Structure formats: structure tokens, C-alpha cells
Amino acid sequence: MKNLKLKSARAAKDLSQDELAKLCGVSRQTISAIEKGDYNPTINLCIAICKALDRTLDDLFWED
């Protein structure tokens, strides 16, 4: 399932996939795969993404 919440939060912070990836210590391809729903990130990566975007785990990774 695509992670549109992550993509939207990243865009709201005016960050590219590459910029977010650098903040989280991963590749741009990893961020892209998470947004497309092709990769299930570890909890540590989820936390790093949330910190970089000033969001909670529920905001970005909880399915409604």
C-alpha cells in the first residue's frame, strides 16, 4: 500500500526524497520504495523519518 501520508508530510516540509534520505541516513531509493509501498521500513527508520518530518508514528505509519 502506498504511503501517501509520508509523501504529503515530506512535501509539506519542502524536502525532496534525497534530502529526507540524507537526514535519515538511507538512500533516496529507500525513501522512494517506502512511499510506493514496496519496502517495509524498520522501526528505527520509521522513528528517524518521523523525527525528520516532526510527525508521530501514528501520523505517518498507522493505517486508517
* pLDDT tens profile 42-61: 999 999 999 999 999 999 99
pLDDT digits over 24-42, tens only?
999 999 999 999 999 999 9
Domain boundaries, the chain: 4-59
CB environment 19-56: b (16+ within 10 A), e (fewer): ebbebbebeeebbebbbeeeeebeeebbebbbebbebe
pLDDT digits over 4-23, tens only?
999 999 999 999 999 999 99
pLDDT at 64 over 90: no
Instruction: Tell me the three cell numbers of residue 29.
Output: 531509493
Domain covering 4-59: architecture: Orthogonal Bundle (1.10)
pLDDT at 63 over 90: no
Question: How far apart, in whole angstroms, are the C-alpha atoms of residue 22 and residue 50?
Answer: 14
pLDDT at 1 over 90: no
